[in-house]
Structure 1
């Protein structure tokens, strides 16, 4: 079966949960799993280039010679970002913040364990069941890199309260959660000059955008920004 055949195959609902932030659904289309939140497609297991580049770009942007950098991944998703981080020995502590208990369960012994099992077993990995917006404001530790992928972009949030992450206060909290010289990497389905300007206004330096080619349409992007050393 080709990728195009799978794309038009009717999806099968594997699990559906109602949580404090609305409905979250795991679907299977052929051999591909999809996560849908409040009716909005988030991601699937068909590719993963964007999720991997998110982590790779953050590591590449760190100052040379930094030892055992700690990374915070915002959103467990289908596990590609976590698996990429765990597959890189240069990372030290790896924390993943996920607010949906259902998503965590799908990885811990559920259908998505095939994509994240070894990474979850890595002693560097910690799963934090929390809301990311609140966590970056209150966490007692700092990180060398924040890799955020909880929405389809700063202007296309899954729930209204996620917008707080991209507000001036939310971006300042991200800035404060980084160690000096740390990097913020934010995945988005489309580029945004307004978001780049918001990052600069929040005190970030070296703001830039990397594109990830997709099969059709506008490329996905990763927004990168640095806290001054």
Structure 2
């Protein structure tokens, strides 16, 4: 008897300004692939939810805080933020038009339709670093889920976000006492040091155990303002 295995099926493939982006289905899962490298799928979402919850908890009861979510991904962070009435306003910055389309009119709408219909939600198509450099808005929390985190980026341009200049831009759009939460595919003591050197304080890391390998983590820090 021959064993059968699910074979990934490509649903959509787009060529954008940052390379190729693919949405595919593998069994019950939807997966996003960027430039041939797996980015994320719909299998879990615990770390994305922790990203949002940890930022809100660190704000210590601030009324109707504004959150900026960097990276739409498969929509876990947005959906979780929208499900919490304590957030006053939710802005999501996503640079890949294909990913936004997959949420608005495609298969990923099953995860994000209610959140996109939420009047608190605003979707901005932009590179996250460009947005924080150009916007006049300020936020109580920045929840960043860009690429694979500080130490392993699929797109080279994303490395600048996690360096001194990128963190200075993030600090600029944080309100006094605002919180920066950064998802990473692995712990990064070096990034903790970069945060401190950039003037952030109360720096800490929360781990999310995974089935195999090193844990996902959320790096948390309070802005220098």
TM-score w.r.t. the length of structure 1 is 0.95
Instruction: Find the aligned partners of 1:47 and 1:219 in 2 and give their Cα distance.
Output: 14
Q: How does 1:39-188 map to 2 (within 5 A)?
A: 39-62=36-59, 64-188=60-184
Given that 2:69 and 2:144 are in contact with CA atoms closer than 8 Å, whether structure 1 keeps it comes out as yes
Runs of 4+, deviation exceeding 2 Å? none
Partner residue of 1:16?
A: 13
Displacement of 1:9 in angstroms is: 2.2
Instruction: Find the aligned partners of 2:6 and 2:169 in 1 and give their Cα distance.
Output: 42
Instruction: Find the aligned partners of 1:75 and 1:93 in 2 and give their Cα distance.
Output: 16
Q: Alpha carbons of 1:122 and 1:172: their partners in 2 closer, same or farther (altered >3 Å)?
A: same
User: Secondary structure of 1:33's match?
Assistant: strand
| 1:40-85, Cα deviation, whole Å (9 max, x unpaired) | 11110011111111001110111x3311000000000000000000
Instruction: Find the aligned partners of 1:9 and 1:202 in 2 and give their Cα distance.
Output: 46
Q: Is there any run of 5+ residues in structure 1 with no aligned partner, and where?
A: none
Q: Is there any run of 5+ residues in structure 2 with no aligned partner, and where?
A: none
Instruction: Find the aligned partners of 1:54 and 1:44 in 2 and give their Cα distance.
Output: 16
Given that 2:30 and 2:41 are in contact with CA atoms closer than 8 Å, whether structure 1 keeps it comes out as yes
| 1:158-190, Cα deviation, whole Å (9 max, x unpaired) | 211111101110011111110001000000010
Displacement of 1:10 in angstroms is: 1.6
Instruction: Find the aligned partners of 2:54 and 2:141 in 1 and give their Cα distance.
Output: 10
Displacement of 1:29 in angstroms is: 0.4
| 1:177-227, Cα deviation, whole Å (9 max, x unpaired) | 100010000000100110000000111000000000111111100000101
Q: How does 1:206-225 map to 2 (within 5 A)?
A: 206-225=202-221
**CA-atom RMSD, angstroms?**
1.3
Displacement of 1:39 in angstroms is: 1.2
Partner residue of 1:202?
A: 198
Instruction: Find the aligned partners of 1:136 and 1:69 in 2 and give their Cα distance.
Output: 17
Partner residue of 2:189?
A: 193
Given that 2:171 and 2:224 are in contact with CA atoms closer than 8 Å, whether structure 1 keeps it comes out as no
User: Secondary structure of 1:73's match?
Assistant: strand
Displacement of 1:153 in angstroms is: 1.3
Instruction: Find the aligned partners of 2:200 and 2:160 in 1 and give their Cα distance.
Output: 17
Given that 2:168 and 2:198 are in contact with CA atoms closer than 8 Å, whether structure 1 keeps it comes out as yes
